[in-house]
Amino acid sequence: MKRAVKQGVTILLAGVAALAMAGCGKADKDYDVYFFNQKSEIAESLNDLAAEYEAETGKKVKVFTVGTTEGSETMRSELKSKQYPTLFSSNAIAFEEWKSAGYALGAEEISNGELKALYESVPDALKLQFQGDGNYGIPYNMEGYGLIADQQMLQEVLDTEDLESFTEDYKAAGYEEFQGMVTALDEFIKNGSAAEFTLNGNTYSTAGEKTELTQNLNGVFAVAGAEKWTYGNHFGNYPISTVYSNVYDVRESEPDKADNLKTPIMKSLEELDFLTRYTAGPDGAVSRGPQFINSTVTGYDQAVQTFAEGKAIFIKNGNWIYANVAKVDEEVADRLTMLPMKVNFSDEDIMVEGLDVEKMNRSIPEFVSQYYIVNAKATEEEQKAAEDFLLWLNTSETGQDYIVNKFAFVPFNAGEETTLENPLSNALITYKVADDLLANPFDAAPSSWGTECYGKYIMEQLFVNPEEWSEEELEEIAGECVDYWKSGMEEW
Amino acid sequence: MEKYYKKWFKVLSLPAVILFVVVILVPFVMGVAYSFTAWRGSYFKGSEHWYGALIGLKNYIKVFNSQKFISAFLYTIKFTVVAVIVKNIVSLALALMVRRIGKGKGIFRTIYFFPNLLGGLAMGFVWSFIFQNVFSMMLFGEDSPIHIPFLTNMLQDPNKAVFAMALMATWQTAGYLMLIYLNGLNNIPEDLYEAASIDGATAIQKFRHITVPMLMPAFTIVFFLTLSSSFKMLDENLALTNGDFGTRMLSLQILLTTRENTPPNYGMAQAQAVIFFILIAVVSIAQVIITKRKEIEA
């Protein structure tokens, strides 16, 4: 009987071994290009595009999409598998991992001459670099954020048809004038009476009475108080921008450079203290306190809805909210415009060369969300196929049509002639053409600084505090934020 | 039949052993080894292979110096103490109640057991709504008839949040633990109680001197389950507070370690996982030894 046992064991072991071999053996690939995409918004259109590519060239493109936080975890294991992606995507910061692990093909190694030229046509500020060097990807698109408003709403609140001169004056205005405007708007919302303010020295006045559209207003700003990233990351980028010129500057600088952040951080908190006194809510104005960070009242979707329903004049957010606003009210979505956020800094606070308060006040941060990267560990043949597809995607008529119309992307090489359905995206192009751009260095902030430190303090200590925030408290928080930044850098 | 099992024991257990080795043992050993390296997810910093990136105890030193880890550790202990006590009291009370019910016993058992079938994360978001909206605004808020400050904004204070999470965890697991207690209660011979009654014992005396000692095997199991599940809790923590307001527990801390830095510091996360494993093992084994000692035979 012992033999029977032995036989049984052998058979089982053989079975397991065979299974294991099958798992590790050379995989049969039924595609020419495998593209791992990390932007879920375009997943469907990307599949359509792959079908068109196959119809046109006979080459099969397999597209796999995983967005948000799980994206890099899935991609990590995919890249290590036998059926690895030959083309993948990454943002500028996560890229360090893929490059260090040897997955990124640089522009100089691209064999397709036309594609190589496309790599080289990417403006320096948008290039995907490693340790401040090289050129490893083609940008998906441009995204940006600022103060978003409904133009019709602005016209009725200001009782003027001429938004163009208002916009010009607004861009030129400083922080004090901006504060004057906010208090005047608040007075109008509360009393429905005319209030005067100046922008760039020119006097403006709110309407004398409310209209059908403006009577719903209950605050100046819609704030997603329960969502740390909206202020932790995007608002936090303004103080960071005074010290660091871009993501690579953050990565490559000495930790002590972060000491310069302290004053800008304090000033940015003072600004938030001011802004959050004028917050609109779903059912009437919201004041700071526990409800201010209650996700059923001030969650992201709720804040966008409050804005889209005309209960707030402004919302500080990015061009991506177009789709969410359109879900609530398509007409409002098509009337959106983006103004720059005003900053509470002085020229002495700004360390970045070529930047001053005036430029910050008329600029909006724009950045590349994802890049296409060719897998350097793929075989030469696979790389060639991936390169051909990437070139076709970015230069063919069909590809261009998809980028602008189906993906609704602002192409990285967009010029004045590019127009999109999303008015916010068109606004981004206007700022880009005028070169009124800020970088997005918060992306490189160590240890999730935006949400785990700066945004966390704002939410846990400041937003729940209805009183005026004391200078000592703000100074302490700013100090902690600098320390956190520095100790986070040690973990790199 | 027994003979059959005896003869084929090794073969029959082989698939389970192989699975355990492949899915648990190998990754575990690898994980311990990786916790001594500069592992960054896709690569080892400074080398092609893990043995080239060995950095000794550096990850562990970093972990013990990490404010986030220490506060997560203390908070986990705090939660575990509260959760184990509350879960045990509630599930034992439910078991005692259900046992005495004559009609509709099945219905009550089903109702109490039901929450256990629902997913932790999804229910976490439902409870988050309950705490933030129903509790804070509708039931116990300032404008409502019964104003109980302790029950408002429970997710915005680390001490209140302990009870909020314990409340949800109890609601979810009490029914399951109740079944274990019920089984234990049913195994206590009735004649013990009869004899005690004849001797004139009160209900409390019967509970203390018959029910509790006889239930010890059930206590061992329930304690073990509640202790380790409270220690390891992730879903409720993530969905209810996401670790805000100093409520980050160890599981969430390990998960977030891999997300907070780019490139992700998997080596440091792995070191925390090893410490986490040792902690749970020590606490659980100590508990089983202690409660086992108190078990008696009737």
Lowest mean pLDDT segment, chosen from A210-214, A324-328, B95-99: B95-99
Does the CB of B18 have a partner CB in chain A at under 8 Å? yes
pLDDT score recorded for residue A12: 53
Q: Which helix (H) or strand (E) holds A155?
A: helix A151-158
Confidence of residue A1 (pLDDT cuts 50, 70, 90): very low
Residues B249-275 have a mean pLDDT of: 93
Say how many CB pairs under 8 Å bridge A and B. 83
pLDDT score recorded for residue A340: 97
In Å, how far are A25, A28, B16 from A19, measured between CA atoms? 10, 16, 16
In chain A, the domains with their CATH numbers are: 24-142+369-413 (3.40.190.10), 144-367+436-490 (3.40.190.10)
At residue A73, does pLDDT exceed 70?
A: yes
Q: Which of A483, A144, A477, A471 is nearest to A340 (CA)?
A: A144
Report the residue of chain B nearest A16, measured CA to CA. Answer: B18
pLDDT score recorded for residue A17: 53
Which of A9, A98, A296 faces B129 most closely, judged by CB atoms? Answer: A296
- State the DSSP code for A125: G
Query: Would the CB atoms of B11 and A9 count as touching at under 8 Å?
Result: yes
Which of A16, A296, A460 faces B18 most closely, judged by CB atoms? Answer: A16
pLDDT score recorded for residue A27: 59
Give the integer Cα–Cα distance in Å for A254 and A252.
Answer: 7
Which of A9, A94, A294 faces B14 most closely, judged by CB atoms? Answer: A9
Which fold does the domain B67-250+283-294 belong to in CATH?
MetI-like fold (1.10.3720)
pLDDT score recorded for residue B179: 93
Distance from CA of A371 to the nearest CA of B (A): 16
Which of A72, A452, A491 faces B265 most closely, judged by CB atoms? Answer: A491
The contacts of residue A95 (CB under 8 Å, 6+ apart) are A104, A128, A130, A136, A137, A371, A373
pLDDT digits (tens, 9 = 90+) for A369-405: 999 999 999 999 999 999 999 999 999 999 999 999 8
What percent of chain A is predicted at pLDDT more than 70? 94
Confidence of residue B26 (pLDDT cuts 50, 70, 90): very high
pLDDT score recorded for residue A8: 54
Query: Would the CB atoms of B263 and A100 count as touching at under 8 Å?
Result: yes
Max CA pair span of chain A: 102
pLDDT digits (tens, 9 = 90+) for A339-356: 999 999 999 999 999 999
At residue A15, does pLDDT exceed 60?
A: no
pLDDT digits (tens, 9 = 90+) for A270-310: 999 999 999 999 999 999 999 899 888 889 999 999 999 99
Bond into B263 cis (ω within 30): yes
pLDDT score recorded for residue A18: 52
Residues B288-295 have a mean pLDDT of: 88
Report the residue of chain A nearest B137, measured CA to CA. Answer: A291
Distance from CA of B143 to the nearest CA of A (A): 13
Mean residue pLDDT of chain B comes to: 91
pLDDT score recorded for residue B116: 87
**Entry pTM:** 0.88
Lowest mean pLDDT segment, chosen from A169-183, B56-70, B115-129: B115-129
Report the residue of chain A nearest B59, measured CA to CA. Answer: A491
Q: Which of A443, A446, A442, A440 is nearest to A492 (CA)?
A: A446
Residues B107-126 have a mean pLDDT of: 86
Give the integer Cα–Cα distance in Å for A161 and A182.
Answer: 20
Give the integer Cα–Cα distance in Å for A69 and A72.
Answer: 7
Residues A49-55 have a mean pLDDT of: 96
Residues A10-33 have a mean pLDDT of: 61
Does the CB of A21 have a partner CB in chain B at under 8 Å? no
Lowest mean pLDDT segment, chosen from A5-9, A132-136, A279-283, B234-238: A5-9
What does the domain layout of chain B look like in residue ranges?
67-250+283-294
At residue A5, does pLDDT exceed 60?
A: no
Residues B223-243 have a mean pLDDT of: 92
Query: Would the CB atoms of A290 and B156 count as touching at under 8 Å?
Result: yes
Chain B segment 235-254 residues within 8 A of A by beta carbon are 244-245
Mean residue pLDDT of chain A comes to: 91
pLDDT score recorded for residue B48: 85
Contacts of B125 in chain A (CB under 8 A): none
Contacts of A68 in chain B (CB under 8 A): none
pLDDT digits (tens, 9 = 90+) for B86-104: 999 999 999 998 888 878 8
Contacts of A491 in chain B (CB under 8 A): 62, 261, 265, 268
Query: Would the CB atoms of A293 and B15 count as touching at under 8 Å?
Result: no
Residues B140-146 have a mean pLDDT of: 83
Chain A segment 51-90 residues within 8 A of B by beta carbon are 69, 72-73, 76, 79-80
pLDDT score recorded for residue A464: 94
Lowest mean pLDDT segment, chosen from A25-34, A260-269, B20-29: A25-34
Residues B116-132 have a mean pLDDT of: 88
Contact A478, A262 (CB under 8 A): yes
Residues A313-322 have a mean pLDDT of: 95
